[in-house]
């Protein structure tokens, strides 16, 4: 290119319009003295294909000589640069390719790619106008990131935040639930203590009253004396049962209670229990009907069965009307001994049928009308569970409640002497 008039002559292929425009700019700049002459200059021109123009401005009036290189030269240039000046120390880059480099034109056409893989973890910079605004990007290979970035690539924190919030909400809910339960339990325990005190006071007052009457000789007849004595015995039995229940319950709260089940004549054991209960039933004019299968046996703990039955019978008398009829049955059915206690009381509403077995739980209407501790049925359930049996309450067709206890591994003994542990009828 002549510095005098900007005339251009070229060897090789004809210069494209963009290259000619670029060289025209060079000429103007050289004439104005704006281009230092001591070093070569480079410019990338993008026509259809990118081309590289390199020239050296000359002093005075000497022609300006430029070299124009086509795109394959440019690609080769990038490869050479990467080979000569690696982005990472060779000790790191040797085993795995960490980084990929891409060069694209300003309109997004990829001119060079060091590898076919690409990753979302990349940065991009636009080069200046002389280099046609080429866009240079470097991407990090995700599988190599663990080795390169301490602690791995940062992950999206939203799931962790949402998870933490959910966890916090769940913990708060659990805490509130626990707090409510503790409140409820504290209230039930307070009711329990006042129930126990009341239950202890009533039989004690009776014993004292009839004891004093006897002591002071205020009884008018032998029959009255007998009645007073019967009441004292009966009330002291009630006291003993109550204390037994409380002791059993506190034992079971502290440690696991166990039973020792031995094959037992259940019909005889039940006769025995009902006989002992008769004075209390009679005092409320309650009659008891017994429907037992003869020779019914099952592996049971006699003391536990006694406690189960007395709790059920006590409830039947307590919640049912005076003069009612109780039906107590013990039947054999497919290796199961089924013992039922039926009363003519108010029955248990379906919504209470599951809850009455919980410790301290008392049906509100009954709690006001009758004394109690709310642990009787909890003990019944625990003892039945220890026998691997089942217990539930169901409504009777004719009104009242039917409490059912099922005990497994039952049999009908032909000969009662087979069972040395059988409880003799008292
Ligand atoms: P307590 O009798 O000391 O209240 P229990 O655990 O024995 O405690 O009974 C729990 C509740 O079940 C009683 O408060 C009562 O409301 C109800 N219940 C128990 N037995 C009967 C029954 N035979 N008829 C009606 N309700 C009953």
In this predicted structure, what is the pLDDT of residue 129?
81
pLDDT(148) > 70: no
Ligand 1 atom at shortest distance from the alpha carbon of 346 = 25
Distance from residue 350's CA to the centre of ligand 1 (Å):
13
Ligand 1 pocket test, pick from 244, 340, 356, 368 with the greatest ligand atom count within 8 Å of Cβ, gives 356
CATH of domain 157-257: 1.10.287.130
Distance from residue 196's CA to the centre of ligand 1 (Å):
14
Distance from residue 321's CA to the centre of ligand 1 (Å):
14
pLDDT(155) > 90: no
Pocket of ligand 1 (CB under 6 A): 311, 315-316, 319, 343, 345-348, 356, 361-363, 366-367, 372-378, 401
In this predicted structure, what is the pLDDT of residue 204?
92
* 258-418 CATH fold: Heat Shock Protein 90 (3.30.565)
Distance from residue 34's CA to the centre of ligand 1 (Å):
108
Which of these ranges, 133-147, 299-313, 347-361, 393-407, has the smallest mean pLDDT? 133-147
Ligand 1 atom at shortest distance from the alpha carbon of 343 = 23
Q: What percent of the chain stands above pLDDT 70?
A: 89
* Tokens encoding 283: 């005092």
Domain locations in the chain as residue ranges: 17-69, 89-148, 157-257, 258-418
Distance from residue 374's CA to the centre of ligand 1 (Å):
7
Q: Whose CA is nearest to atom 12 of ligand 1?
A: 356
Would you say 313 and 277 are in contact if contact means Cβ atoms under 8 Å apart?
A: yes
pLDDT(423) > 70: no
pLDDT digits (tens, 9 = 90+) for 167-184: 999 999 999 999 999 998
pLDDT(59) > 70: no
Using pLDDT thresholds of 50, 70 and 90, give the confidence band for residue 98: confident
pLDDT digits (tens, 9 = 90+) for 402-413: 999 999 999 998
Using pLDDT thresholds of 50, 70 and 90, give the confidence band for residue 58: low
């Amino acid at each position: 290119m002549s510095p005098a008039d900007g005339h251009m002559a070229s060897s090789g292929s004809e210069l494209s319009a963009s290259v000619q425009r670029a060289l025209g700019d060079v000429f103007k700049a050289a004439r104005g003295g704006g281009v230092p002459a001591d070093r070569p200059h480079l410019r990338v021109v993008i026509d259809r294909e990118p081309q590289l123009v390199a020239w050296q401005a000359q002093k005075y009036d000497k022609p300006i000589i430029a070299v124009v290189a086509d795109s394959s030269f440019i690609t080769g240039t990038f490869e050479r640069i990467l080979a000569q000046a690696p982005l990472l120390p060779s000790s790191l880059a040797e085993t795995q390719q960490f980084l990929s480099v891409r060069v694209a034109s300003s309109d997004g056409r990829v001119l060079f790619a060091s590898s076919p893989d690409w990753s979302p973890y990349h940065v991009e910079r636009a080069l200046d106008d002389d280099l046609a605004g080429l866009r240079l990007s470097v991407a990090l290979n995700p599988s190599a990131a663990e080795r390169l970035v301490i602690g791995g690539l940062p992950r999206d924190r939203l799931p962790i935040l949402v998870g933490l919030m959910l966890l916090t909400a769940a913990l708060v809910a659990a805490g509130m639930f626990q707090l409510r339960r503790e409140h409820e339990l504290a209230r039930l325990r307070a009711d329990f203590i006042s129930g126990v005190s009341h239950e202890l006071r009533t039989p004690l007052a009776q014993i004292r009253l009839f004891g004093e009457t006897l002591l002071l000789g205020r009884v008018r007849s032998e029959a009255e004396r007998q009645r007073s004595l019967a009441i004292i015995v009966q009330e002291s039995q009630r006291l003993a049962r109550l204390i037994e229940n409380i002791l059993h319950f506190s034992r079971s709260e502290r440690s696991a209670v166990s039973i020792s089940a031995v094959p037992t004549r259940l019909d005889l054991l039940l006769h025995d229990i009902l006989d002992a209960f008769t004075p209390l039933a009679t005092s409320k004019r309650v009659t008891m009907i017994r429907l037992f299968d003869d020779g019914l046996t099952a592996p049971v703990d006699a003391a536990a069965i006694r406690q189960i039955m007395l709790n059920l019978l006590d409830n039947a008398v307590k919640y049912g009307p005076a003069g009612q009829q109780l039906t107590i049955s013990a039947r054999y059915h497919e290796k199961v001994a089924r013992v039922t206690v039926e009363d003519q009381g108010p029955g248990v509403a379906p919504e209470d049928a599951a809850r009455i077995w919980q410790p301290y739980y008392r049906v509100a209407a009954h709690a006001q009308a009758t004394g109690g501790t709310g642990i009787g049925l909890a003990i019944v359930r625990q003892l039945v569970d220890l026998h691997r049996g089942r217990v539930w309450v169901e409504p009777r067709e004719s009104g009242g409640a039917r409490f059912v206890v099922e005990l497994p591994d039952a049999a009908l003994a032909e000969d009662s002497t087979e069972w040395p542990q059988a409880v003799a009828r008292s």
